[in-house]
Amino acid sequence: MLDEALQKLGFSPKEVVVYSAVLKARRATPAQIAKVTNINRPTVYSVAKSLVTKGLLAEDLGGKTLYLVPVPPEELERMMKKDEQALKEKEKLVNQMREELSRAAIGMEYPVPKIRFVEEQNVEDYLYDHALIWQKSANLVDGTWWGFQDHSLVEQYRKWIDFLWKEVHPGGHVKLLSNKSDIEKRFEGKYLGREIKFSETLNKFTATTWVVGDYVIMLSTANHPYYLVEFHDALLAHNMREVFKNLWEKA
């Protein structure tokens, strides 16, 4: 039941295995977890760091040896409430932006940018429903998806990426910067036209940003709750596309 719940929350299979092992042991070193899970030690360290960042595990650094311990249930509840509050604040800010832009546009001759905020439970459906709309817009410009892609998106939405290349833009072009990750190494060369570049100087992005035609899509998948913000504005998209083209050439 716990494993299934964690998977539904978007945790990777290795994160589920490592967390379950630490939970069972109550307190364990990465080496001990590697032994009981048959996952190599460097991977256990990497997965454990991810779980610490997401708030499921804590590091006990009281002695010379590093121990992993599960976070108490009340901490998890506090973390979820904090995330929920942060998501509500972001939604409130997006709505305020939309109202301000609408008021500022009265009497103007240019179209008002359209902004949509999508909460986690609706993100996946939105990706499937709007991928073709975005691609049609891209085809009117240069046919290319530009931007930065956080590798956590690939981990969480692999089926959608398969759908994208098989159903939406077979033979299309994607030119994205990304942070180095095992998942991107496995995807390398899988789709013709999907180009990913890595750069040590561009490793501070924390969320995916696509520029597709007249759309700019920002998607946060590194931590729960996930959310998506879509800007439909030709002017913004044009300028963001030029930024990412420049970064792409220099990467």
Confidence at residue 211, expressed as pLDDT on a 0 to 100 scale = 97
Per-residue confidence at 187, pLDDT binned at 50, 70, 90? Answer: confident
| pLDDT tens-place string over residues 122-144 | 999 999 999 999 999 999 999 99
Residue with tokens 């364990």: 28
Q: Find, among 132, 161, 144, the residue nearest to 213 by Cα.
A: 144
- What is the spatial distance between Cα 200 and Cα 6, in angstroms, rounded to a whole number? 31
User: CA-to-CA distance for 216 and 147, rounded, in angstroms?
Assistant: 9
Q: Which has the closest alpha carbon to 229: 214, 210, 243, 250?
A: 210
Rounded Cα–Cα distance for residues 122 and 164 (Å): 18
What is the CA angle 142-207-247, rounded to 5? 45
Measured distance CA(182)–CA(151) in Å, rounded: 9
Residue 38 has a pLDDT of: 93
Distance CA 136, CA 83 (A): 34
Specify the DSSP element, H or E, that contains 4.
helix 2-8
Selection from 90, 16, 77 nearest residue 48 by Cα: 16
Closest residue by Cα to residue 56 from 244, 223, 229, 191: 223
Question: Span 14-31, mean pLDDT?
Answer: 90
User: What whole-number distance in Å separates Cα of residue 152 and Cα of residue 161?
Assistant: 13
Q: Please tell me the predicted confidence (pLDDT) of residue 135.
A: 92
**Per-residue pLDDT at 213:** 94
* Mean local confidence (pLDDT), 57-79: 79
> CA-CA distance, 115 to 94, in Å (whole number)?
8
Residues of the chain with pLDDT > 90: what percent? 37
Mean pLDDT, residues 19-43 taken together: 91
CA nearest to 134, candidates 211, 35, 67: 211
148-161 residue pLDDT tens: 988 888 888 989 98
State residue 112's pLDDT score.
65
- The vertex-179 CA angle with 148 and 121, nearest 5°, equals 65
Residue 76: band (very low, low, confident or very high) from pLDDT cuts 50, 70, 90: low
- Structure confidence at residue 109 (pLDDT): 54
Of 50-54, 105-109, 220-224, the one with minimum mean pLDDT is 105-109
Distance CA 134, CA 172 (A): 12
CA angle (229 as vertex; 217, 103 as ends), nearest 5: 110
The domains found in the chain, sorted by start residue, are 2-71 (1.10.10.10), 80-250 (3.30.870.10)
pLDDT(204) > 80: no
Residues of the chain with pLDDT > 70, as a percent, come to: 89
Q: What is the pTM of this model?
A: 0.60
Average per-residue pLDDT for the chain: 85
pLDDT tens figures, 82-106: 777 878 888 888 888 777 776 665 5
